[in-house]
Amino acid sequence: MSHPDKAAQFIRDEAKAHWHDRALWYVRAKRDRVAQGVPEWETLREIAAQIKAHTLSKLPDYLEMFEGNAKRLGAQVHWASNAAEHNEIVYGILKSHGVRRLVKSKSMLTEECHLNPFLEARGLEVVDTDLGERIVQLAKEPPSHIVLPAIHKRKEEIGELFHRHLHTEQGASDPAYLTEAARGHLRGKFLKADAGLTGVNFAIAETGGLVVCTNEGNADMGTSLPPLHIACMGFEKLIPRAQDLGVFLRLLARSATGQPITTYTSHFHGPRAGGELHIVIVDNGRSQILQREEFRRALFCIRCGACMNTCPVFRRSGGHSYESTVPGPIGSILSPARDPRKYWSLPHASSLCGSCTDVCPVKIDLHHQLLAWRKELARLRLLPLSKRMAMNIGGWVLRYTWAYEWSGRLARWAIPKLPRVILYGRWNVWGRQRELPPFPKESFREMYKQKVGSRR
């Protein structure tokens, strides 16, 4: 199903769609307030972008340096060229240690590789320990947002879910009560786990250390109790020096949730005493993106989710409508790079307003890349005929002033005469109840002239 079809399903529940929109806008507004409290914010963004560009330009060197230093600290480093290899490597490590129960902190990479179903099919118990991730895992749904995985669920729905799985009181929806219930449930899982798996926010080449940011401390719990720690990372998580970390940590939490810093910023330098640390470095299509000049900057992404919170399309269509591990503006660039045929509709899920580019802490030119993808998909002839025809007609109308004026006149004459079934019926994606305002009789140019004239 294409993005517009899934989005139409999402907005059928108008109240939920509005609530989703407002919830994300609240996070966006919070991000604005804390960003404005840092006078050097724009300088930080510029430095972060330059560090990322530099790292990617010398990627093989930094990867080698990281591997050498991580091994020196006692970690074992594995390389996976795709998702299947990644899953086999992780399973191999778990099997050789006799692991039956695995606890995971948030890792979008393992979502991308579909690690959970792979391990569950081989008889392992896999428990996501981030609260939002656990909620969607119990609901058997994928995350709908990379930072707020259960943002599409209301507290009443979570209460119902917890009642079924964690035996909380029926009808209870108090967030504090539900969080406490989840805490008790997860505590038991941590205590029984044989291994812990984490994602990686930053990998430091000069030290061989890893940094994982969480708000719940679940990465620390999952790696402190069991003796085996597996850390999975895409190669773009690399930064050259420890001193670069400060730049990204100041940007990440502020952009993600409007916090000055994540509650836990955990540093791992080699395995803990008596334990083992395995680091799995994954490509899975990243090299192809790196080779393409116009899309390379997408690999700067630090997965803060700010572009999703601000995107008017994401807020009003929900993360599941993208049907991709990373949704929103950045997902609409990364996903077509993997499979343009499957994800052809995603670069069109944007108003191209540029708000995503404005908030991105590492200055990815998101809306320019979305436009570039639209051109690329048209070149590959992957757009459906209806879209191609509409775009060709639109392009022709916009090319000639007279065609623009005449099409405006035609629209003003024809639209009020169209049957109501077209305006408000089955084809009206905004829902049947909504009455559109009357169509103006004058052209925008005439309205503008009247307004300006009345002010003079």
List residues near ligand SF4 by CB under 6 A: 255, 301-307, 330, 359-362, 364, 366
* Pick 90 or 304: Cβ nearer ligand SF4: 304
CB of 260 vs ligand SF4, minimal distance in Å = 17
Q: Report DSSP letters for 281-335, one per residue.
A: EE-TTHHHHHH-TTTGGGGG-----HHHHH-HHHHHH-GGGG-SSS-HHHHHHHH
Token couple for 109? 């990479």
Continuous segment of H or E residues that includes residue 267: strand 264-268
CB of 234 vs ligand SF4, minimal distance in Å = 12
* Pick 232 or 256: Cβ nearer ligand SF4: 256
C-alpha dihedral, 172 to 173 to 174 to 180, nearest 10°: 80
HEC secondary structure over 412-450: HHHHHHCCHHHHHCCCCCCCCCCCCCCCCCCCHHHHHHH
CB of 296 vs ligand SF4, minimal distance in Å = 13
CB of 364 vs ligand SF4, minimal distance in Å = 5
Continuous segment of H or E residues that includes residue 272: none
CB of 301 vs ligand SF4, minimal distance in Å = 3
Task: With beta carbons less than 8 A apart as the criterion, state whether 28 and 147 touch.
Answer: no
* Cα dihedral across residues 370, 6, 307, 219: positive or negative: negative
Q: Name the phi and psi angles at 184, rounded to 5.
A: -60, -45
CB of 45 vs ligand SF4, minimal distance in Å = 10
* Pick 254 or 278: Cβ nearer ligand SF4: 254
* Pick 307 or 349: Cβ nearer ligand SF4: 307
* Pick 314 or 344: Cβ nearer ligand SF4: 314
CB of 304 vs ligand SF4, minimal distance in Å = 4
How do strand 101-104 and strand 125-128 relate by DSSP bridges? Answer: parallel
CA distances from 393 to 23, 106, 308, 368, 390 (A): 38, 46, 31, 23, 5
CB of 143 vs ligand SF4, minimal distance in Å = 13
Q: How far apart are CA 65 and CA 206, in angstroms?
A: 7
Q: How far apart are CA 179 and CA 280, in angstroms?
A: 32
